[in-house]
Every structure is written in C-alpha cells, then in structure tokens.
C-alpha cells in the first residue's frame, strides 16, 4: 500500500459565476465581472442579439473584441440599463 500525499491547497482566489453559470475570475475580490459575453447580455436583459448589436453600433454600449469574441463592458451595460435607451 502506498501513501497518498496531500498537497496544501492553493490560496483562495475570488471566483464568481456569470449568467450562464461559467466560472469567472474577478479582480481584487470584486464580485462583478468587468465584461459580459453577448450571450450573457442577452440572457441578463432579455434583449435579442440583434438589438444588442444595434446598441453596440450606435455606441450606446461599449465593447472590446478579443479574437473572434465580443465582450460588452459591464459598466456600460449598467449605465444603459439605468438611463434607458431610445
């Protein structure tokens, strides 16, 4: 019989879950993600993908493109929901 070594656990890193349940690393313990995927924005707001892209092209939402993925700025989304849009 061989002994099983238990290694010390790594220090706790703040992790939260986004709208679809995926793990999201947070910065400095802030539970809010910095960006949301288009799919997350659609689920969170009940707006269509087409409407989200319209808001992006009208500069009512800020986004960043990383590779093929479009990520919507979380603060921009909160601002839009707070003020509404035309």
Does residue 26 sit within a domain? Answer: no
Does residue 75 sit within a domain? Answer: yes
* Tokens 């947070």 belong to residue: 26
Does residue 30 sit within a domain? Answer: no
d(CA 50, CA 72): 14
Q: Domain span at residue 49?
A: 37-86
d(CA 30, CA 83): 24
What is the pLDDT averaged over residues 14-31? 60
pLDDT for residue 9 is more than 60 = no
Q: What is the pTM of this model?
A: 0.65
Kind and range of the H or E element at 24?
A: strand 23-25
What is the pLDDT averaged over residues 80-85? 88
Looking at the 3D structure of the chain, how many domains does it have?
1
Does residue 18 sit within a domain? Answer: no
* pLDDT at residue 4 in the model: 54
Does residue 86 sit within a domain? Answer: yes
What would the pLDDT profile of 27-69 be if each residue is shown by its tens digit?
Answer: 666 678 899 999 999 999 999 999 999 999 999 999 999 999 9
DSSP 41: H
């Amino acid at each position: 019989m061989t002994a099983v070594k238990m290694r010390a656990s790594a220090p706790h890193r703040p992790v939260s879950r986004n709208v679809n349940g995926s793990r999201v690393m947070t910065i400095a313990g802030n539970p809010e993600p910095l960006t949301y995927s288009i799919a997350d924005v659609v689920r969170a707001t009940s707006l269509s993908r087409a409407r989200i892209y319209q808001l992006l092209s009208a500069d009512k939402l800020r986004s960043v493109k990383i590779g093929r993925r479009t990520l919507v700025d979380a603060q921009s989304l909160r601002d839009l929901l707070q003020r509404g849009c035309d």
